[in-house]
Amino acid sequence: MWVFDNFIIVILTIIPIMLSVAIFTLTERKIMGAIQRRRGPNIVGFWGILQPIADGLKLFLKEIVLPSKSNKLCFLSAPLITLFLSLLGWSCIPFSSYNIISDLNLGILYILALSSLGIYGIIIAGWSSNSKYAFFGALRSVAQMVSYEISIGLIVLPVIICSGTFNFIKIVFKQHNTWYFLPLMPLCILFLVSILAETNRAPFDLPEAEAEIVAGYNVEYSSITFALFFLGEYSNILLMSSLYIILFWGGWLPILHISFIPFELWFAFKITIIVFIFILIRANYPRVRYDQLMDFGWKLFLPIAFSYLIFVSGFLISFNGLPIGNFTYLYN
């Protein structure tokens, strides 16, 4: 009975995530169409609202093409790994103080570990395709994700020091009076740019550079296998947006203490704003060069994040035992 109840909870979590991905793709195409002064999808359903369903059915009904010299088992398992890991991260994301699947005390470490494991799905996809373009795209993506994961880890550390916990719910409660984006504004900006690079979004979508490596590590994929990569990528974007909201923007806490709106709606509203920023950046900024991308990570983001970590630690140590705003010092 316990296993059945947990299975129902997991299914009731996965279905809204998949629906959110469908709405995300439709919204992205509509907003980009408006920015580029065109209509966007407007044929399937009223105002094109059924376009994601039509695209999904088209991909699921197509034939699965397996490259003749590919490693079939690894080729088919790579998109499953990517999607599974992106969905697994939602198990510890709190939509409110009582709406969470698993309240882990080390939730931040769990998310960072899953983000690191996501590299395996990409490198397996690039290697098993037996295509030089797919392999080059996988190497680019892995180097990019590893580089910016280091920056993300250093950016998260000051939040952990200020809140005194790795638990997501406790981090949100620590922001009851002051959201962390105010005292940690530089890190808030760096984290937003870092998750853009971590999720391979424009202007850091170098693994998908069509003019150079013909769409990157998933160039050989089609039909349902491509759809699984697509779902995993957009689910990971929503996951990173949720993490960003929890760490810097008060999670589900309401704006101006407006309490009559459910906490889950506040959480969804904040994620919608971050997703809108993702779309605007994709529509307005050109793709950077790969050497510039790596220089940003190693020569700019890493020193700034490390310097701010030392500054926050020293600032709190200098006020040993005193609460500063909403900060709580770790040591007695």
Whether the predicted pLDDT of 133 surpasses 90: no
213 — pLDDT class (breaks 50, 70, 90): low
**What pLDDT is stored for residue 326 in this prediction?**
47
Tell whether 188 is covered by a domain.
Answer: yes
**What pLDDT is stored for residue 247 in this prediction?**
94
Domain enclosing residue 131, as ranges = 69-318
Q: Both 103 and 177 in a single domain?
A: yes
Kindly report, residue by residue over 235-257, the tens digit of the pLDDT: 999 999 999 999 999 989 988 77
Alpha carbons within 13 angstroms on the beta-carbon side of residue 223 total: 8
Tell whether 278 is covered by a domain.
Answer: yes
- Per-residue b/e over 156-183, b at no fewer than 16 CB within 10 Å? bbbbebbbebbbbbbbbbbbeeebbbeb
Q: Both 107 and 233 in a single domain?
A: yes
Q: How far, in Å, CA of 197 to CA of 293, rounded? A: 8
Show which of 15, 33, 61 is a domain's final residue: 61
Residues in the chain, total: 332
Tell whether 330 is covered by a domain.
Answer: no
Show which of 34, 61, 88 is a domain's final residue: 61
8 Å CB contact between 278 and 234:
no
Q: Both 129 and 276 in a single domain?
A: yes
Q: What is the DSSP letter of 92?
A: G
Tell whether 332 is covered by a domain.
Answer: no
Tell whether 96 is covered by a domain.
Answer: yes
Tell whether 327 is covered by a domain.
Answer: no
Least confident of 32-41, 122-131, 321-330: 321-330
8 Å CB contact between 127 and 74:
yes
Radius of gyration in angstroms for the set of CA atoms belonging to the chain, rounded to a whole number: 21
Show which of 13, 35, 61 is a domain's final residue: 61
Q: Both 266 and 304 in a single domain?
A: yes
Q: Both 23 and 128 in a single domain?
A: no
User: What average pLDDT does the segment 97-124 reach?
Assistant: 90
8 Å CB contact between 76 and 3:
no
Tell whether 47 is covered by a domain.
Answer: yes
User: What average pLDDT does the segment 124-137 reach?
Assistant: 89
Q: What is the DSSP letter of 46?
A: G
First-to-last C-alpha distance (Å) of the chain: 45
322 — pLDDT class (breaks 50, 70, 90): very low
Tell whether 228 is covered by a domain.
Answer: yes
**What pLDDT is stored for residue 177 in this prediction?**
86
Q: Both 227 and 264 in a single domain?
A: yes
Long-range contacts of 174-179 (CB under 8 A, 24+ apart): 174/326, 174/328, 175/250, 175/251, 175/253, 175/326, 176/253, 176/326, 177/325, 177/326, 178/325, 178/326, 179/248, 179/249, 179/250, 179/253
Number of domains in the chain: 2
Q: Both 143 and 207 in a single domain?
A: yes
**What pLDDT is stored for residue 204 in this prediction?**
87
8 Å CB contact between 244 and 165:
no
8 Å CB contact between 167 and 104:
yes
High-pLDDT (> 70) share of the chain, %: 93
Q: How far, in Å, CA of 321 to CA of 235, rounded? A: 41
Q: How far, in Å, CA of 147 to CA of 139, rounded? A: 12
User: What average pLDDT does the segment 137-148 reach?
Assistant: 89
Q: Both 208 and 174 in a single domain?
A: yes
Q: Both 232 and 297 in a single domain?
A: yes
Q: Both 240 and 120 in a single domain?
A: yes
Q: Both 77 and 226 in a single domain?
A: yes
Whether the predicted pLDDT of 306 surpasses 80: yes
Q: Both 16 and 96 in a single domain?
A: no
Tokens of 230: 């697509």
